[in-house]
């Protein structure tokens, strides 16, 4: 499927979802989704508030690392290499990061107060999934296509470093 990027390029995700950077980015999203599913199961099941809070804090930490990587490394490099032409697309993603953090805070408060967190969890998850789809259909393939190989290699190594602590502390039930 070809997609008009608005910056004079056609991105075909099928041809740009390869290589270490792409693998690392996909793995990061898979890790976040796994951690979100653990939280979902605990909220829906009979877990104690502490167990829910533990799954929440693992997810929140992983998400914070991922956003930091995107905001401080991936997005600036993409802006550089596109001469700022990816600005509009990246601005949308950054606004969604802000909104996701706002919803995460509401969820955190619901969990801490002992209120049923289901509604705030669903609101968070809905935006999270459209946000990830947006990244994976445009900005990730663009990064993989336009960033020089040396930069892709470096960013892939940084993702590994960012994700490793999250994997070590992974909750699985």
CB of 49: closest distance to Fe ion in angstroms?
Answer: 29
- Number of residues binding to Fe ion, judged by CB under 5 A: 1
Cβ neighbour number for residue 101 with a 10 Å cutoff: 14
Burial (Cβ within 10 Å: 0-12, 13-18, ≥19) of residue 50: exposed
Asked whether 155 and 147 are in contact (CB, 8 A), the reply is yes
Least Cβ distance, residue 66 to Fe ion (angstroms)? 6
Nearer to Fe ion, 57 or 132 (CB): 132
Task: Tell the smallest beta-carbon distance from residue 17 to Fe ion (Å).
Answer: 14
Q: Does 135 participate in binding Fe ion (rule CB under 5 A)?
A: yes
Nearest CB to Fe ion, comparing residues 32 and 111: 32
Nearest residue to Fe ion, scored by beta-carbon proximity: 135
Which residues 58-117 are close enough to bind Fe ion by CB under 5 A?
none
Residues that bind Fe ion (CB under 5 A): 135
């Amino acid at each position: 499927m070809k997609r008009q990027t608005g910056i004079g390029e056609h991105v075909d995700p099928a041809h740009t979802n390869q290589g270490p950077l792409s693998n690392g980015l996909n793995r990061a999203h898979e890790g976040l989704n796994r951690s979100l599913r653990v939280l979902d199961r605990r909220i829906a099941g009979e877990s104690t508030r502490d167990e829910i809070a533990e799954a929440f804090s693992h997810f929140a930490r992983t998400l914070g690392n991922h956003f930091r990587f995107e905001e401080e490394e991936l997005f600036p490099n993409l802006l550089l290499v596109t001469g700022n032409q990816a600005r509009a697309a990246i601005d949308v993603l950054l606004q969604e990061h802000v909104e996701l953090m706002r919803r995460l805070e509401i969820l955190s408060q619901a969990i801490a107060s002992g209120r049923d967190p289901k509604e705030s969890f669903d609101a968070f998850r809905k935006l999270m999934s459209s946000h990830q789809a947006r990244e994976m259909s445009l900005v990730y393939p663009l990064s993989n296509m336009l960033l020089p190989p040396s930069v892709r290699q470096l960013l892939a190594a940084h993702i590994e470093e960012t994700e490793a602590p999250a994997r070590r502390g992974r909750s699985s039930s």
